Amino acid sequence: MIFFFSPLPLSLSQFFTLLLSHQHAAAAWSWGVAVVDSKYNSKQQHLFQIEFSDMVSKIFVLLCLPSIAASLSLPSPGTGSSKIRAISLDVTGTLVATREPVIKSYHDAALWAQLPDPPTQDEMKKGFKIAFKERSLESPCYGGVEGIAGREWWRETVARVLHHAKPDVKVSEQDFDRYFRRVYQHFGSPAGYEVLDDAKNLLESKSASELLLGITSNTPTRHMESVLPMLDIHNHFKWFTCSQDVKYEKPSMEIFDASFEEAKFWLPDLKKDEVLHIGDSYAADYCGAKRFGFQALLLDRSDNPAVVAYQDWIEAPDYEGKSVEDVQLNTIKSLNEVVSMLSL
């Protein structure tokens, strides 16, 4: 029987050799396993994959997570102590995601508002990508730098979405007002967002409840004041730092410094390397946090279609010890892995 990690085939013994390697533990886990022996039919292969995946999960927790935990100053078995005293979390893509694709919501609102010749979803997708980047660069932090209200920032952004989606179609102010209100209401309602399952597990875990939890996010103030309370997860956190409030975005040093200062209100003697930041952006979350002096985990959400990276123009800053191996070692696929690490 042979297993493979795309693109190189590995025997079972070679797989466990790779899995046990400290250097490649994270890579071994993230690449996945598939059965390719032709003597098994598809149903047998599927059953074996389930059983084998469960076995690998247990081995990973026992053998690999202590290595990652050690790199983060998290406790390994028998130590009984941890340097991590606080966890900083990103919001969108890490804790929550939209219940349906953003583009579908925009398109459905256009149909509901009976816009003349409404854009298709493909046209809307093109328009949103252009408009969001334009507005983010000319008026950063959802209007925070410019000093305008978040609703005003989104109103102009949504108008540009329609313009870039269908440049030749003119929408009256009355039609646009009806459309924009529908869009803005949707993302301020329970239909807009949901808490991701592994995020719920982390927030409700005993280990996490014993640490100081906070938010460091490139999101509008509305997420802090409305979305998190609406989803009933705000009480898990002691501090809330968002880009619109502080007028700086991750990976800037300023937003992490603002977050650190808020955390120190609760733990005055807190040190930078006692804070673990977790987020789904390599540039903004992982590299930004590491450069500031926090410990960090990169949450790989590439397998989750509900999570879309919109700020793909952000450049990753350098930090001391930056390497491919460092990133691989500190990349996780689920927040459930954090729960396991904290429980070691």
Give residues with Cβ within 8 angstroms of 33, minimum separation 6. 3, 4, 5, 15, 49, 52, 53, 56
pLDDT tens-digit series, residues 135-164: 999 999 999 999 999 999 999 999 999 999
Report strand pairing: 2-5 vs 8-11.
antiparallel
SS (H, E, C) 75-138: CCCCCCCCCCCEEEECCECCCEEECCCHHHHHHHHHHHCCCCCCCCHHHHHHHHHHHHHHHHHH
Q: Per-residue pLDDT tens for 21-54?
A: 444 444 444 444 333 344 444 444 444 444 444 4
* CA 339/CA 321 separation, integer angstroms: 26
pLDDT for 310 equals 84
Which has the closest alpha carbon to 280: 31, 91, 74? 91
One digit per residue, pLDDT tens: the chain, 344 residues?
333 333 334 444 444 444 444 444 444 444 443 333 444 444 444 444 444 444 444 454 455 555 555 556 564 333 233 489 999 999 999 999 999 999 999 999 999 999 999 999 999 999 999 999 999 999 999 999 999 999 999 999 999 999 999 999 999 999 999 999 999 999 999 999 999 999 999 999 999 999 999 999 999 999 999 999 999 999 999 999 999 999 999 999 999 999 999 999 999 999 999 999 999 999 999 999 999 999 999 999 999 998 988 888 999 999 999 999 999 999 999 999 999 999 87
Q: Is 295 helix (H, G, I), strand (E, B) or coil?
A: strand
